[in-house]
A and B are shown apart, each in its own frame.
Chain A
């Protein structure tokens, strides 16, 4: 487990900023005004994803690097005090801590996971509420069509991050807008308005791979 490098921090913030608004700075703000106040930090932890290698599941692995198994570079959002405590656990034995925001790819990009939804929902800039009839299609991995939209934030530009809520304000997932609000008004009921990126259904669909528990 290690802190993020400058490049990585930039990438992570850029991705978060595409969904979150100005309140993003509250993410890393100290919890109170005292000089020794605790705050949230980002940590990178490499963990083995055994599910990617079914024959390897039975193996007892001590040094993952030696075996050359793909490692998942997870980015965690965690309290500094907890991160400091976690240094007592060896790297191989530490599976997860805090909230997993996503993972860094080998090409240096950052991909958000559904596990980041509570944080994103709290700080999102653009929101869309979908009707009860549209919840199931979305939770099964579908994009959102205009007919399922209950309401959404005015002046939303196209191709920007958006958090999806049910009509009773429960966050269901997030995605990217396909059209701006103005354009979407003229759209046919079957036209796409939001492309899905992650939905709460992944907790069931990707149960094996979502958490690197092996």
Chain B
């Protein structure tokens, strides 16, 4: 079936006259001047049985759902947490002006602060103890090192007082003596010479 052509009506009210109710064009009868008898067919008698009425009523009353009933989100997007306001909650700010609640808040805050300061002080004390222990340890080590150095110095001084340390040459001589078993100078090699 070919698609039916649509007809463009420039002024759809023009068919019924000027479009203004009560205007001359609307009041006057048909253009051709023939007035037809307006007597239509007599209204059909009402159906007597109640079943028919019920059927008609049933037909008419189609259930329509409101937006609320459908429970469709208003915006087709995610609602941020902050935007959604809890139902049944008081609008606006909640003031604190009575003494009791002020005292409660104060006590809470003060307990918090007290704990904070206390922990700070405990921490500071612990740190101080650690520092003190480290200092004592470092001092002890330093003392030991110094004592060792002093000892070495003292021993060296004592040696020098005894006659001083032998030199390197003297050391070699001592070795020779030990090897030959005597202090005499080594005999020279025999040589033959022609005068």
Interface residues of A (CB under 8 A from B): 2-6, 9-10, 13-14, 17-18, 22, 24-25, 28, 30, 39, 41, 155, 157-160, 180, 182-183
Q: In the bound complex, what is the Cα–Cα distance between A4 and B113 (angstroms)?
A: 21
> Which listed residue, B95, B107, B113, B120, touches A2 by the CB 8 Å rule?
B95
Extra pairs beyond A6-B101, A13-B105, A155-B121 (10, CB < 8 Å):
A3-B95, A5-B93, A10-B105, A14-B113, A17-B113, A18-B113, A28-B102, A30-B99, A157-B120, A157-B124
9 pairs of A and B residues whose beta carbons are closest in the complex: A3-B97, A157-B120, A17-B113, A3-B95, A13-B109, A5-B93, A180-B124, A9-B96, A14-B109
B94 touches A5 (CB 8 A): yes
Q: Mark B74-112, 1 if CB is under 8 A from A, else 0.
A: 000000000000000000011111010111011111101
B117 on the A face (CB < 8 A): yes
Chain B facing A: main interface SS: helix
B139 on the A face (CB < 8 A): no
Return chain B residues, CB-CB under 8 Å to A9.
Answer: 96, 102, 105
A28 touches B93 (CB 8 A): no
- A-contacting residues, B64-81, CB 8 Å: none
Interface residue count on the B side (C-beta < 8 Å):
22
B128 on the A face (CB < 8 A): yes
Q: In the bound complex, what is the Cα–Cα distance between A22 and B111 (angstroms)?
A: 10
Which of A10, A157, A159, A180: most chain B CB closer than 10 A? A157
Return chain A residues, CB-CB under 8 Å to B107.
Answer: 25
Return chain B residues, CB-CB under 8 Å to A157.
Answer: 117, 120-121, 124
A4 touches B95 (CB 8 A): yes
